[in-house]
Amino acid sequence: MALSALFSIGECGAAGSLELKFSGTLNEKICSFEQGDQSQEVPLQLQSIKYFENYGRTAVNPFLVSLTNCSAATLAKMVQLTFSSTNIQVVEGETLLATEGDTDLVLGLTDGNGQAIKLGEVVPAGQIVSIGDGSVNRFQFGVYARAVGKVKAGSYSSTVMIEMAFE
């Protein structure tokens, strides 16, 4: 039956045409990190050498990653963050952030559920629930320090980059 309809249309000639016009908007950013292009500093808990000798690692220190001024196109979208660094150290099969300073500490990251973040892999952070100018969406993560040898007193630091995408 469909075949005969095709032949019937073909016998009548062209029935008309339709012009489709496509348009869109290109935004510089559909969401911004709250601190803009500045680094976000996360202070770590002060611990003693004795603490690391007894426990090996600190408790998780929570921190927030906040996205602001999200466009309407992001509403209810899942935020996908990827944490990456070139300064890594593998400890017992786990990829951790190596630190600057001679302390023998590394840093581990956790998601909002307390699960270890694998560097270089996508981490679902949560959904965008607030949009428009002045909107803020906050997602919780955590960081902890872990001893990988005989801990020495001193300052330590590490840096990680975060890339944002939406699903």
pLDDT at 34: 94
- CA proximity to 45, closest of 32, 58, 36, 56: 58
pLDDT digits (tens, 9 = 90+) for 23-48: 776 665 689 999 888 999 999 999 99
Longest dimension (CA), the chain: 91
Domain count along the chain: 1
End-to-end CA distance of the chain, in Å? 42
**CA 110 – CA 117 distance, rounded (Å):** 5
Is 43 domain-assigned?
A: no
- CATH for 121: 2.60.40.1090
Say how many residues make up the chain. Answer: 167
Structural domain containing residue 147:
29-38+48-153+162-166
pLDDT digits (tens, 9 = 90+) for 49-84: 999 999 999 999 999 999 999 999 999 999 999 999
pLDDT at 47: 94
Q: Give 4's pLDDT tier (boundaries 50, 70, 90).
A: very low
